Each structure stands twice: as C-alpha cells, then as structure tokens.
Amino acid sequence: PHQHTITVRYGETDQMGFAHHANYLLYLEEARTALMAALGVPYGDLEARGIGLPVRKANLRYRAPARFEDVLVVSVWIERVGPASITFGYRIDRPADGVYIADATMELAAIDLENGALCTLPEDLCAGLERARQED
C-alpha cells in the first residue's frame, strides 16, 4: 500500500482534544490523491480529460482517537477497479505507539464533468489502476 504521513493540527481537534471525526475523510482524501499522483494519474490530469471522481460511498470505522500533533500514517490501496468506479481501502495507524486508529473503504464513481453523468473510465486508466492493484 501507499503510505502517507499526516500530523493532526490543532484546528482539527474538538473540545475533548481528539481529532474531529469529519477530518478523517480529509485525511483519506489527501492520502488517495497522493497515491493517484504516485501512480502517474494526478487528479488534475483526470479533470483535464473531463473526468471527475466524486465519492459515492464511504465506510469509516474509528478504533482509537488521534490527538493534536499525533503523526498518523494513512495506508491506501486500490481494492477494486470497475468500468465506472474505483474502490480504495485505507488503514490509519499511529506509529509512535503502534495504535490502530481507523480503517475505511471508499468508492468513487467516474463522471463526465461536462454533464455530471456517470461515464466509463478510460481503458488506459483502468489498466494502470488494475496493475497497481495487483502489485499491492
């Protein structure tokens, strides 16, 4: 899996001092866009081709809290590549003490940015993503 490091910022914490649950979706997105860039498919390039990848489904399980200044490692991988969607898997860990923070899956649908309609992923993109999935 691709690993992306994130440090919890003060503004991401709630009154209890924990990273607010909504921020985990941002952590996942940051890791996912870093993975796509590392695979040579930055989101900007997809958008230039007229393709968007909005989130269609997200499943996130919190296992332990993260706090201000915790350094987290978000591991992300491709679980499935369909003709018009990509499913990513995630795991968030805090390496300092080995705590397993959260895990998630997220499905993104391919849409035509011109009209917002579902579209198929280009063959070259599907092939590249499928190769990356098999290498994980």
Catalytic residues: 14
Q: b vs e for 23-59, b when ≥16 Cβ sit within 10 Å of the residue's Cβ? A: bbeebbbebbbbbbeeeebeeeebeeeebbbeebeee
Question: What spatial distance separates the first Cα and last Cα of the chain, rounded to whole Å?
Answer: 6
Q: Nearest Cα to 102, choosing from 47, 66, 62?
A: 62
Q: Nearest Cα to 91, choosing from 114, 112, 73?
A: 73
